[in-house]
Amino acid sequence: MSPHRTAVSLGALALVALSAACSPGGLPDGYTSLCSDSGELVLARGFRPAAPVDFVGLRVERTSPRAASASDPIAPVGPQQVAAWSARFVDSQGTLCGTAKDKAKCEQAVAAVRELGTTCQGLSIVPQAAAMEAPSIPQGTCETQYLLYTRGDEVGLVRNAREAIAFFGPIDSGEEAAYVARAGGEALSCSGPTGSGAGYASVAGGYNVATGQRDCDGNESGRIVQIATNGAPSVVEAGETAVCR
């Protein structure tokens, strides 16, 4: 991963008039898609952290509620419900623990990372393997996402927009801008009902990111947010604001 960065001076963050014309994928003309051919959001390929890393990936933790029986080792004191925990990388670049002096220890440290805590909606969180055979129940689903990186023997997390800006340094790719927008609460989707997708365009002082927001019926409307090279967001096109009753 190249540590080289090109300095970009910050210009005025004036609102930009957008053309109503759209590309075939539903994005405004001149935008680069952030979606793969299979409809997945792809960002990690464009990450260029301020300090080089061996690996960076978007990690998703999720719980799946299960009903445990009295004979189940995860419920030794009687029948109860539990939330089975699992984690996986959905988008990444590099080699996990690639230059670690003790690769096994590094990988164990990665596997031990858990941000969801010990309970989900009142249910105890247990490892997925411990509750694999237990039947599903409707309550107890929780999810969190973050970036996890390895640098030598170091294992680190990027949990929010502020930490993302510190991790990336100057925002010098559309993918970095999109991640900062997403970490700040913007919705990026590759499979919305309008087919609007997600994408970016380079502009003076940063990047415009095409995101999406949903109305009261679950339909998406277009929204453009500019992310400056220092990570500051500003709204370029707000789309339709829904007031749900």
Place of tokens 């502009």: 203
Query: Which one of 30-34, 49-53, 215-219 scores highest in mean pLDDT?
Result: 49-53
Q: What's the pLDDT at 9?
A: 30
Compute the average pLDDT of residues 182-188: 91
Question: Is 60 exceeded by the pLDDT of residue 121?
Answer: yes
Nearest to 160 by CA among 150, 175, 145: 145
Question: Is 50 exceeded by the pLDDT of residue 47?
Answer: yes
Question: Is 50 exceeded by the pLDDT of residue 1?
Answer: no
Judged by phi (left if over 0) then psi (alpha if -120 to 50, else beta), residue 186 lies in beta
